[in-house]
């Protein structure tokens, strides 16, 4: 794999002041891991924060020195000459607390017990993550971000930035996201959580001490996730009813169909590196996100706080996890507030995963919008 960003080195920042959480609990002293790409300009006006979704991290672009396979998860979007052009922008990727990719999380030591947090790691919401990110941005000396950008759960964080710190960003770019989870979305999360929690190797979330990992549950969780990331049509186009072998085995446990082989492989791989407690925490953050709740369910009232910000929303026609209709709810709430909102609905076959893939129309929309942002935040230029 190659990347036009090249080799990047993760950095860490320690925060000694506890982070108050929406639950009423607090996260004691914690560390955030982050990466940056490009150069912060003298006016500190060209910073773009990228928020990650379930299975991602601060490692947005580039490669790590020791691993030629370590391409960042949004390397096709972020880099020199890419839609989010690091020749113009100073891009920051940050790993959220509770993650298993470097920032303080369930596998780290709970200072109160001297043992790993495990299932006792405080439940964080999207808003809590954004608060943690805001401290990092402040510590980096950035008063106002040119943009906050994210897809899926990352798009919820971009929304939360707009709603919580409207004076600290100029643009909010939220891709393949929703103003909250539907009952069906919550249902899929809950099944995945039950698979993990009821795995005997979960040990109530304190499996680290037992030297085991609830891999069975993680595999099932990931398999369910994968079904919801792909569209019915793209799964049909990619796998259909293709058999793995020339003849049927007539077995309930052997692999017969290629789709089974694919799902088992994805589940196995995921269970090797992902933390079960992180999975629970992140899916819960998804469930809880619901900015309209505090406003009697009225999303337009929630967005009244953010009307000075400019928005780009992008959705994908075959995304059945966060369908275009969900993005349009946000667009409507913004239009109701006479906010400056652009919306693109991309006719892409790949379902929810489309936000991570190469699609010329999608990348062109992102490029055009970030050119506008560049003009908006570059001294001497005009939007």
Which residues are annotated binding-site positions for substrate? 222, 353
Select from 44, 206, 238, 244 the one that contacts its own copies (CB under 8 A): 238
Q: Kindly state the number of chain residues that form the binding site for its own copies, as judged by CB under 8 A.
A: 60
352 catalytic residue (yes or no): yes
Calculate Rg over the CA atoms of the chain: 21
- Check binding of 190 to its own copies (CB under 8 A): yes
DSSP H or E stretch at residue 127: helix 126-139
Q: Is 240 in the site for its own copies (CB under 8 A)?
A: yes
How far is Cα 293 from Cα 254, in angstroms, rounded to an integer? 47
What is the Cα–Cα distance from 85 to 180, expressed in whole angstroms? 30
3-state SS, residue 4: coil
Please give the Cα distance from 347 to 317 (Å, whole number): 5
User: Binding to its own copies by residue 131, rule CB under 8 A?
Assistant: no
Contact 144, 45 (CB under 8 A): yes
C-alpha triplet 326, 330, 333: angle, nearest 5°: 135
Q: Which of 319, 327, 350, 359 is catalytic?
A: 319
Of 66-125, binders to its own copies (CB under 8 A) are: 119, 123
The token duo for 16 is 């000694």
Is 290 a binding residue for its own copies by CB under 8 A? The answer is yes
Where does this chain touch its own copies (CB under 8 A) — which range of 64-72, 78-86, 165-173, 244-252?
Answer: 244-252
Kindly indicate which of the ranges 9-17, 160-168, 283-291, 370-378 contains the residues binding its own copies, using the contact rule CB under 8 A: 283-291
CA atoms of 95 and 56, how far apart (whole Å): 8
What are the φ/ψ torsions at residue 245 (nearest 5 degrees)?
A: -115, 170
The continuous run of DSSP H or E covering 139 comes out as helix 126-139
Tell me if residue 278 falls in helix, strand or coil. helix
Using rule CB under 8 A, residue 235 touches its own copies: yes
Query: How far apart are CB 175 and its own copies at their closest, in Å?
Result: 21
Instruction: Name the one range near its own copies by CB under 8 A: 137-145, 152-160, 238-246, 342-350.
Output: 238-246
Is-catalytic flag, 201?
A: no
- Answer yes or no whether residue 206 interacts with its own copies by CB under 8 A: no
Active-site residue among 103, 152, 271, 315?
152
Q: Is 299 in the site for its own copies (CB under 8 A)?
A: no
- The 10 Å Cβ neighbour count of residue 131 is 20
Q: Is residue 250 near its own copies by the rule CB under 8 A?
A: yes
281 interacts with its own copies by CB under 8 A: yes
Q: How many residues does the chain have?
A: 383
Residue of 56, 49, 58, 61 whose CA lies nearest to 89? 49
User: What is the DSSP track for 202-254?
Assistant: GGGGTGGGGT---HHHHHHHHHHHHHHHS-HHHHHHHTTT-BSSSS----SSS
Minimum CB separation from its own copies for residue 231, in Å? 9
Residue closer to its own copies by CB (options 158, 181) is: 181
Q: Which is nearer to its own copies, 36 or 159 (CB)?
A: 159
Interface positions, 168-187, toward its own copies (CB under 8 A): 180-184, 186-187
152 as an active site residue: the answer is: yes
259 lines the binding site for its own copies (CB under 8 A): yes
What the block records as the tokens of 290 is 């619901």
Query: Contacting its own copies (CB under 8 A), which of 13, 40, 140, 227?
Result: 227
Residue whose C-alpha is closest to residue 180's, from 160, 156, 157, 158: 156
List contacts with its own copies (CB under 8 A): 21-25, 119, 123, 180-184, 186-188, 190-191, 193-195, 197-200, 216, 219-220, 223-224, 226-227, 230, 232, 235-236, 238-241, 248, 250-253, 256-257, 259-260, 263-264, 267, 277, 280-281, 283-284, 287-288, 290, 293
């Amino acid at each position: 794999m190659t990347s036009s960003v090249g080799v990047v080195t993760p950095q860490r920042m320690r925060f000694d002041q506890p982070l108050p959480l929406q639950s009423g609990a607090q996260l004691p002293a914690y560390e955030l891991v982050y990466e940056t790409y490009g150069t912060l300009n003298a006016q500190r006006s060209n910073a773009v924060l990228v928020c990650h979704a379930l299975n991602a991290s601060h490692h947005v672009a580039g490669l790590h020195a020791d691993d030629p396979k370590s391409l960042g998860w949004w390397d096709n979007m972020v880099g020199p000459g890419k839609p989010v052009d690091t020749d113009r922008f100073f891009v920051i990727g940050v790993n959220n607390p509770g993650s298993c990719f470097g920032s303080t999380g369930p596998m780290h030591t709970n200072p109160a017990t001297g043992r790993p947090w495990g299932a006792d790691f405080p439940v964080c919401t999207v808003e809590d993550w954004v608060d943690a990110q805001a401290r990092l941005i402040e510590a980096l000396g950035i008063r106002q971000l040119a943009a906050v950008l994210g897809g899926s759960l990352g798009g919820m964080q971009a929304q939360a930035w707009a709603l919580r710190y409207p004076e600290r960003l100029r643009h909010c770019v939220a891709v393949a996201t929703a103003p909250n989870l539907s009952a069906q979305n919550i249902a899929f999360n809950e099944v995945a959580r039950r698979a993990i929690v009821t795995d005997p190797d979960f040990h109530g979330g304190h499996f680290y001490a037992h030297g085991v990992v609830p891999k069975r549950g993680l595999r099932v969780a990931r398999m369910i996730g994968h079904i919801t990331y792909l569209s019915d049509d793209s799964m049909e186009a990619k796998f259909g009813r293709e058999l793995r072998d020339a003849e049927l085995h007539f077995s309930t446990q052997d692999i017969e169909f290629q789709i089974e082989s694919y799902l088992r492989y994805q589940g196995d791989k995921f269970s090797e590196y992902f933390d079960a407690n992180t999975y629970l925490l992140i899916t819960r953050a998804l469930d809880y996100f619901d900015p309209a709740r505090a406003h009697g369910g009225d999303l337009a009232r929630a967005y009244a706080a953010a009307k000075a910000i400019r928005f780009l929303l992008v959705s994908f026609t075959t995304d059945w996890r966060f369908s275009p209709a969900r993005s349009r709810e946000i667009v409507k709430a913004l239009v109701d507030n006479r906010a400056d909102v652009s919306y693109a609905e991309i006719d892409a076959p790949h379902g929810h995963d489309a936000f991570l893939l190469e699609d010329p129309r999608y990348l062109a929309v992102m490029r055009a919008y970030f050119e506008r942002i560049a003009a908006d935040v570059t001294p001497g230029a005009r939007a």
